[in-house]
Structure 1
Amino acid sequence: MNQSIIKLLKYLFYSLLLIFALYLGINYRNLANQKHYVVNVSNKLEEVLYHINTKYVDTVNNNQLMERAITSMLESLDPHSTYSTAEENKKQQEVLDGAFEGIGIQFNIINDTIMVINTTSGGPSEKAGIRTGDRIIEVNSEKVAKVGITNEEVLKKLRGKKGTTVQISILRPGISTLLPYTITRDVIETHSVDIAYMIQPKTGYIKINQFGGTTVSEFETALENLIQKGMKKLILDLQGNSGGYLEAALQICDHFLKRGELILYTEGEHTETEKFHATSKGLFEDGELIILIDEFSASASEIVAGAVQDNDRGTVVGRRSFGKGLVQRLITLSDGSTLRLTIARYHTPSGRSIQRSYKKGVEAYYDDFIKRYGENSSLEEKAPQDEEELLQYKTKKGRTVYGGGGILPDIVVPLDTTTFSESFKALLNSSLLIEFCLNYSTNNHRELKSRYRSAIHFVKNMRIHDSMIQDYINFYQNKNNKKDIIINNKEKEELRHWLKALIGRNLYQNEAFYPILNEKDPIVQRALKVK
């Protein structure tokens, strides 16, 4: 074949390729530039690895180097784009979908420190006294903070066979000393609805701890039961709920909003705008609705609160939520590892971006949250100061709401900043309180069950006398070789409240535990006053 024919065929081929590219709406030049850029970056990485492998003073693990490089790249993008090995991904999925053996916490590594994002309801960690916001500093006497620990390493240390124990030391906001806990691992069966009950004659209360695979069915069962009991007003408690499946949040909203009302929309540089609307007839579209949130309510929780607020469907009570409004797509790589890559942002119906700003970097992003939760002496509602918070949006009925990330409640309840002595904080937060209550419940189980034949009866009639408070103080002092711990009246009432709640949980699980806690929860109590 002569050269002129070859040139003609090449010309025709490239012409057809260009036409095809234009037909698909692709900018051919940009595509070529992007490909050239990827090739250059790939070559540079290979070049660096070559020099490391041929010149570095010690032997290296190439897989480990590459995984750290990937992690660093993603961290430079935003706080929620992450990389997971195949094994990590499997274990993380179990938290939402199934049962596993471990201590029952959800965690994030924030500023090189393990932070508890949530505890599994009824799980070993919750029973031991671990709380959302606790930071794990030591595991089995080994320091795990500020040592570059990975998700996989955390899971290896905390997961284990049922019946085995793990010792952890945690740092809790507002307490300067490490708190030691011994946790016995167990089979963790995940449930989304902690409790559903009539908190007042016409008012129902449902607490959801996460948006998982069973959330919708659990919620629908709870909602139907409360409606049958005459519920006209619903308090949906999303405090401490760190999120989960988008689809679960959408279906929960569907029970509150009328067909066609906007729930949220997403926007991204490389994704089309997608809108999500309420569809079928919901179970509770007309009754009075109150949503409770706090600084640990994130993602799917914020979607529900934002949709209810912007559609003027109900009242949001509590404190500004976390501000996690980035959409991640799960991308599986060739070796089974995964990227959770941010592809879009969530926006509430009024147009607010849920995502809190991370312009100053990931470390500053989480430092801001820790400071806001652990050190802020007053989270009262105030005029917006931040540039993004100055952005005003309008709800369906024209009420003003503000941007700035997260959902600012309609009614803000300040963080309880009651000042307790350091000795009392140690007394109240000690794992010995859990042990004391368990011993008391076990030793007096038959008598207690005979006296209080139901959770409701226990909540209404059980009294913690001063003598039991002193018994616990003596128990704590003997175990810690301390003497003469003195508490004031306010501290005594706080301890009385927790003794009753923990004993109630031992006897009747969440059916007694949460109603007792809610008696003094300032956000719940404020919600009950909403007219």
Structure 2
Amino acid sequence: MRLTVARYHTPSGRCIQKPYTKGNKKGYDEDLLDRYNAGEYYNIDSIQFNDSLKYTSLVKKRTVYGGGGIMPDVFVPVDTTEYSKYYRDMLAKGVIYQFALDYVDKHRAELKANYKSVKDFDAKFHLTDADMKDFIAAGEKEKVKYNEEQYNISKNVFHTFLKGLICRDVFSDDSAYSIIVSHSNKDLQEALRLINDDARYNTLLTTGNTEYEKIAAKHKAKAAQKK
């Protein structure tokens, strides 16, 4: 996997990033918001595929869509079911980050002694119920009212987020956070499943996601009916 903050082009010359005009950050951001409001992040049927953005790949001759960057072969919808208002309030007030810092300051010697590596920490470290009560109390101090129902909705997210931040601080390693939270990263987990499924991988490599063409045809038919 290659990540970049620069513009990266495929061998055929297509840019993987969504195009933008220099000096027009507002338009770039508004496009992302429009797609969010249209449901494109949650439902594959909501994504707009225009014929003008349709390409045939050079080697496999399969149909791919561009224009807004490159549409991936596998669509993974954004899952917001665990992000409650209580979670958002704790995040906005800085409670999550501050609690992680305070926790490490208080337990640094113990953490250093008990966990010799990020891998070891990942496998063995867990916040206790008492730790989470302290976390809730830290939120109360910042005027974030405890909501048991919403806390339970976001409990797994809190644990993962805090564990990643604590690990990063203990080992002074920015990559440590990514390693911890990768277990709950649905995009990464789907990519790993795909790579380990030879039949599915080879089918996508040969044909691409044929579902996209069906969706494009459906949107085209709806547009024609409105005329």
Shift of 1:322: 4.5
The C-alpha deviation readout for 1:309-361, integer Å capped at 9, x for no partner, is x69xxxxxxxxx641278xxxxxxxxxxxxx89xxxxxxxxxxxxxxxxxxx8
**Corresponding position of 1:520:** 184
Q: Secondary structure at the match of 1:417?
A: coil
Shift of 1:525: 0.6
- How many angstroms apart in 2 are the aligned matches of 1:386 and 1:512? 40
The C-alpha deviation readout for 1:209-252, integer Å capped at 9, x for no partner, is xxxxxxxxxxxxxxxxxxxxxxxxxxx153xx442xxxxxxxxx
Question: Equivalent residues in 2 for 1:16-31 (5 A)?
Answer: none
* Residue-pair matches, total: 189
2:107 is equivalent to residue 444 of structure 1: yes
Of Structure 1 and Structure 2, which has the larger fraction of its residues in strand? Answer: 1
Aligned with 2:132 (options 466, 469, 473): 469
**What amino acid maps onto 1:485 in structure 2?**
N
2:153 is equivalent to residue 458 of structure 1: no
2:16 is equivalent to residue 324 of structure 1: no
Cα RMSD (Å) = 2.9
- How many angstroms apart in 2 are the aligned matches of 1:499 and 1:395? 45
Aligned with 1:497 (options 152, 156, 160): 160
Q: Structure 1's 364 and 436: CA in aligned 2 closer, same or farther, altered over 3 A?
A: closer
- How many angstroms apart in 2 are the aligned matches of 1:522 and 1:483? 30
Aligned with 2:52 (options 374, 385, 388): 388
Q: Secondary structure at the match of 1:392?
A: strand
Q: Secondary structure at the match of 2:81?
A: coil
Do 2:104 and 2:169's aligned partners in 1 also have CA atoms closer than 8 Å?
Answer: yes
2:69 is equivalent to residue 406 of structure 1: yes
**Corresponding position of 1:72:** none
Q: Secondary structure at the match of 1:407?
A: coil
Shift of 1:396: 0.6
Do 1:424 and 1:491's aligned partners in 2 also have CA atoms closer than 8 Å?
Answer: yes
- How many angstroms apart in 2 are the aligned matches of 1:362 and 1:395? 32
Shift of 1:424: 2.5
TM-score by length of 1: 0.32
Q: Secondary structure at the match of 2:52?
A: coil
Q: Which has the higher contact order (CA 8 A, sep 6+)?
A: 2
Unaligned runs of 5+ in 1: 1-235, 244-298, 312-320, 327-339, 342-360
Shift of 1:504: 0.5
Do 1:428 and 1:495's aligned partners in 2 also have CA atoms closer than 8 Å?
Answer: no
Shift of 1:522: 0.9
Question: Equivalent residues in 2 for 1:115-264 (5 A)?
Answer: 236=1, 238=3, 241-243=4-6
Q: Secondary structure at the match of 1:529?
A: helix
Do 1:501 and 1:516's aligned partners in 2 also have CA atoms closer than 8 Å?
Answer: yes
Q: Structure 1's 405 and 451: CA in aligned 2 closer, same or farther, altered over 3 A?
A: same
- How many angstroms apart in 1 are the aligned matches of 2:122 and 2:186? 18
**Corresponding position of 2:98:** 435
Q: Structure 1's 484 and 521: CA in aligned 2 closer, same or farther, altered over 3 A?
A: closer
- How many angstroms apart in 2 are the aligned matches of 1:512 and 1:420? 23
Q: Secondary structure at the match of 1:412?
A: coil
Unaligned runs of 5+ in 2: 198-227
Do 1:459 and 1:512's aligned partners in 2 also have CA atoms closer than 8 Å?
Answer: no
Q: Structure 1's 409 and 456: CA in aligned 2 closer, same or farther, altered over 3 A?
A: same
Do 1:392 and 1:401's aligned partners in 2 also have CA atoms closer than 8 Å?
Answer: yes
Do 1:469 and 1:495's aligned partners in 2 also have CA atoms closer than 8 Å?
Answer: no
**Corresponding position of 1:126:** none
**Corresponding position of 1:529:** 193
- How many angstroms apart in 2 are the aligned matches of 1:417 and 1:446? 36
- How many angstroms apart in 1 are the aligned matches of 2:180 and 2:76? 20
TM-score by length of 2: 0.71
**What amino acid maps onto 1:426 in structure 2?**
D
Q: Secondary structure at the match of 2:78?
A: coil
Do 2:118 and 2:167's aligned partners in 1 also have CA atoms closer than 8 Å?
Answer: yes
Question: Equivalent residues in 2 for 1:67-146 (5 A)?
Answer: none
2:202 is equivalent to residue 507 of structure 1: no
Shift of 1:378: 4.0
Q: Secondary structure at the match of 1:405?
A: coil
Of Structure 1 and Structure 2, which has the larger fraction of its residues in helix? Answer: 2
Q: Structure 1's 519 and 393: CA in aligned 2 closer, same or farther, altered over 3 A?
A: same
Shift of 1:429: 4.0
Shift of 1:384: 4.7
Q: Structure 1's 416 and 242: CA in aligned 2 closer, same or farther, altered over 3 A?
A: farther
Q: Secondary structure at the match of 1:528?
A: helix
Q: Structure 1's 402 and 237: CA in aligned 2 closer, same or farther, altered over 3 A?
A: same
2:147 is equivalent to residue 485 of structure 1: yes
Shift of 1:417: 2.9
**Corresponding position of 2:212:** none
Q: Secondary structure at the match of 1:420?
A: coil
